[in-house]
Structure formats: structure tokens, C-alpha cells
Amino acid sequence: MKKIETKTKETKTIDATGRTLGRVASEVAMSLMGKTKPTFERNAYTGVPVKVINASKLSITPKKLAEIYHTRYSGIPGGLRILSGTETAAKKGLKELVSLAVYKMLPDNKIRRTMMKNLKIED
């Protein structure tokens, strides 16, 4: 009978208190892609699971929140919705803005879904 070994990956914890949105998101994206490790491979997931804490304490100005936007498309003609950062922050909080910023910084390939599953954001 084979003994199955389970590998526990160590999680990288990033504190977002007082930091800007882009700086936190770029650090998270680099860790999720695995570019901080010497074993980086472009075609395989070699990243580290990342946990962002204190996301609600990000330093972001109201002017910057008004400039940020993202799109949502329902799939039907005329179904494109453009939401500002102010609307998103009011409805879903700053956790959603961090998630969207990281998502846009990751490469657009088949591994992006796996990378996003290894991201945990807490208030």
C-alpha cells in the first residue's frame, strides 16, 4: 500500500494597512505567478498561495476611486456595464477592488483561474 504524502504550501501573508491598491496588487500578482521563486515556469503554476489581510484599510483617495472602473458583460447585446470604483467599493467593499486589480495583473491564460483560487482576501 502506497503512503500518500500531502504537501502543505506555506502561505504568504500581505498586510494592506496604509498601502496603495496598485502596490499591494502587484506584489500579490508576482507571488501568485511564482516570479519570486527560482523555480518559475511560465506554463505551470509554481506560485505561492497568498492571503491579504486588512484590505479595508487600504490607502486610496476618493479621486482615485472615481477614476478606477471595470466592465461587466452579460453576453447579450447592450449588456455591457461600466462600473466605477466608487460604486464597487460601496456595494462589495475594497476586497473586490483588490481582487479585480490582481485579476487584471495576472497573465490571460489557462492558469489564471488556478492562481485566483489561491488568493484569499480578508478585511
Q: DSSP secondary-structure letter at 6?
A: P
Question: What domains are defined for the chain?
Answer: 12-60+94-121 (3.90.1180.10)
Condensed to tens digits (0 to 9), the pLDDT of residues 70-107 reads: 999 999 999 999 999 999 999 999 999 999 999 999 99
How far apart CA 44 and CA 51 sit, in angstroms, is: 21
The mean pLDDT value for 36-58 works out to: 94
**Does residue 86 contact residue 66 with C-beta atoms inside 8 Å?**
yes
CA dihedral 16, 34, 110, 85 (to 10 degrees): 20
**Does residue 93 contact residue 123 with C-beta atoms inside 8 Å?**
yes
How far apart CA 84 and CA 33 sit, in angstroms, is: 27
Q: What is the pLDDT of residue 123?
A: 87
Condensed to tens digits (0 to 9), the pLDDT of residues 10-24 reads: 899 999 999 999 999
